[in-house]
Every structure is written in C-alpha cells, then in structure tokens.
A = this chain, B = another copy of it.
C-alpha cells in the first residue's frame, strides 16, 4: 500500500481502488486472481434450496476484548444461516470506509474476517468497497451477506415452538454486549469480560443430528438479548414461554458489571449464543450433544413452552413469582453489533 490511511480515491472504482483490492483486500480475504474479479461470484453445486441472509455491522469501538468488527461480521452472518438450519457456504463483504482510516486497522479487521471464515468453513467470494469523507461514517461499517445450503429436509426457524417444548441455551448470556460497552466506556470493571463471538454452524449440526425433527426453533439472541429473542419466538410461534430466572447462566463478571450499571443481562447482546426449542423427549439428547461441542460446554435448560397463546413470555423468579418479559424498549446499548 502506498498510503498509510484510506483516501477518498480508494473508493473511486479506479486505479487506487484496484490497488487497495490487489495489495490488501484480495491477498488477505481470498485466493482470487485478477481474472476472477467479476462483480458477481459464481457458485456451483448449490442445490435446490438455499438460505440467504444479510447483516450490517456498525459496532463502536471496532476493536474490543476478544474480537473486532471483522470476526463479528463473519460470525454474525454465519450464525444467521445456521439458525435456519443451513450449512454456511459463501459470504459477501461490503465495506464502507471513512476517509482517514489507518490501513493498519483495516488490515487487522480483514485478517480477523479471514480467520473467522476459515474457522466457520465458509468462503468469502465477493465484495465491494466504498469510501466516504471524514465525518460521514465512523471508521468502518461492514455488511456481510451469506448463502447456506441444506444437508437435511427440516424446516427450522422461529415459528415452530410448541407446548411442552424445552428451551435450551449453549452458555452464559450478556458477554458480548458488556465487553463492547466496557471498552467503549473505559470501564475497569469490565476488564475480565470478553465477547462470546463465535460461529455456531457446527453446533447446530450437532443439535440437528441429535434432535432431528424434534428441533422446533433456533435463534441467536443478538441485539435485544435473550429476552427480545424469546419474545420473538413466542410471537412467531403463537405460544407462551416461561423462563426460569435461577437457570439463566450469567458469568460473575457480567453479573457484577450489569448490577453496577443497572442493566439486565437478559437484554444484553450475545454473538455466540443460540436458543434451541426442542420437543421434551429430545431435550436430554440435544443438551448432551451441545455439551459435547466446544461452543456448548455450558449448555443448559432455561425455560419451556407453557401453552399456545399470543406470545406472552413469563419469568418464574427465584421465589416462585411470575413476571412478564417484554422486548427491549428503547435503546439500552447502541452500536453493539
């Protein structure tokens, strides 16, 4: 790279854009040579049924304990495909860069994307880069879109929860949101907290392998946290779901930070967690499969589908009371992903 920072010309589509691609982006992200540089990637052997998803990432700051916006963007889209029961095949990368962004920071973000894609077994196949003047964006925004294919005929989404189903989660809640918040605000108390950002596709494969058609719903509790995601499942499934307060796994560091800041970890974002709603007879087998996977060692049961309904979510408290759980109202933690 002939410049240490991003210039407006890097977004021109012309010579500087090609230099950025040839000298930095393509060497890191892919094995493409110039003859492959078309505006669309061609994928073969896709199959008749595909999953398709998109997410933009605007997290602030772009570097935080345990990760950065790059691996977050790859894992997030990998996980959206996985929640549909799909095997992630290919992703696209759309970069919006602020003029003046240090090339060294871009290199670190791209390297994290490459490593995350390798870990998730997904190919980065196409991309786009735009540059906006200083003060018109904030360092870097990343869109990742993804295509997944199916190794099974199951239909999994957020609308399949049925009365009697068990609600499982693969580990502690609130780690990602509190890691980002602690770094952004310079909080000492958050020094032990790292993002949980991780790809969940192989964990989903184990869940489906163990539960098959008994896996009724999957969703990752990102923005809005477990509370909002459970509420979405309840509404989509027209069911009433009960959560067990004592069963919710929260690390001591996250619990402490949330207590001091007056935040409820149930509403804090996760980036390496999933909620699995499974038929009761399969719950033990699915839980065992989750615990045998590196991303699910602390998997546990946190609730159950009580009955059909209009989407109510109730929390059974430690002393046996019940209180209604609503979606996140307003903005608890802006720019968390």
Chain A residues proximal to chain B, CB less than 8 Å = 7-9, 11-18, 34-35, 37-58, 60, 80-81, 83-84, 86, 90, 92-96, 125-128, 130-133, 135-138, 141, 143, 145-148, 155, 157-159, 219-220, 222-224, 228, 232, 235-236, 267, 269, 326-332, 334-335
Contacts and interface: CB of A to CB of B under 8 A. Distances in A.
B83 A8 contact: no
A235 B34 contact: yes
A236 B35 CA distance: 5
B51 A42 contact: yes
Nearest to A223: B13
Contact of A128 (B56, B83, B132): B56
Say how many copies of this protein the assembly contains: 2
A145 B142 CA distance: 13
5 contacts: A13-B223, A16-B330, A42-B49, A52-B126, A92-B145
Contact of A15 (B14, B56, B136, B329): B329
A94 B14 contact: no
A147 B51 CA distance: 11
A8 to B, nearest CB: 4
Contacts of A16: 329-331
Contacts of A148: 40
Nearest to A12: B331
